[in-house]
Amino acid sequence: MLLRARSITKTYPGTEGPIEVLRGVSLDVDAGETVALTGESGSGKSTLLHLIGGLDAPDSGSIALQDIEITALDDAGRAAVRRDRVGVIFQQFNLIPSLTIADNIAFQARIAGRYQANLVSDLAQELGLAAQMKKYPEQLSGGQQQRVAIARTLAAQPRLVLADEPTGNLDEETADAVLDVMTKLTLDSGAALLMVTHSERLAGRLARRVHLRNGAVA
């Protein structure tokens, strides 16, 4: 088992009292599996993704990634997990505006110590970015920027790819194309994909679907 999450709870403070975002969510993901995480707005999809990625800590429950208990780690330990085992693709791309596309793609691989120039080149080719490598993010369209974010994640060869509505800003045709590439490259590398999406259509293209409702698995 690649990912094992058990009885995850998370509460955020709100203006009208605490908001219970996750109420005992449990989830398993195997290596090579593609899973869609769906649900209404506010159902806790993104929060669960952030907790699995070590971007935040749950109030209770456990999250184990390849036998590493993420919830027991401190900030530096969680940073190491993000760097070495997990790749997160954000909806807002989160590229580094002052780096070229080539450097953006290589960035996470470099900090993880797994930089391979030919892999970066292959990913750029596969994602149609080969001609854009010397440009800066602001010179690219939204769809191109999202592909850069995907390439950056895959270049670091993570065991688990976490994608938070990676095609939310793209039209249907582009979204389908991006998802195809992302799925293919993830599976080619033997990793797993956990993707948050609102789209029933996109969710249907992945191997399994987990639906959240009011902070719990429906």
- Which residues make up the interface to other proteins (CB under 8 A)? 50, 53, 55-56, 75-76, 79-84, 88, 90, 92, 94-99, 103, 106-108, 110-113, 136, 141-142, 152, 169
- Whole-angstrom Cα distance, residue 156 to residue 82? 10
**In whole angstroms, how close is the CB of 92 to other proteins at the nearest point?**
8
56 or 69: whose CB is closer to other proteins? Answer: 56
30 or 56: whose CB is closer to other proteins? Answer: 56
CA dihedral 93→203→8→79, nearest 10 degrees, is -30
- Whole-angstrom Cα distance, residue 217 to residue 212? 5
The β-bridge relationship of strands 86-89 and 68-69 is: unpaired
72 or 96: whose CB is closer to other proteins? Answer: 96
**In whole angstroms, how close is the CB of 204 to other proteins at the nearest point?**
27
**In whole angstroms, how close is the CB of 55 to other proteins at the nearest point?**
6
**In whole angstroms, how close is the CB of 83 to other proteins at the nearest point?**
2
Give me the amino acid identity at 155. Answer: A
Give Cα separations from 177 to 89, 90, 132, 205 (angstroms): 16, 17, 18, 12
33 or 85: whose CB is closer to other proteins? Answer: 85
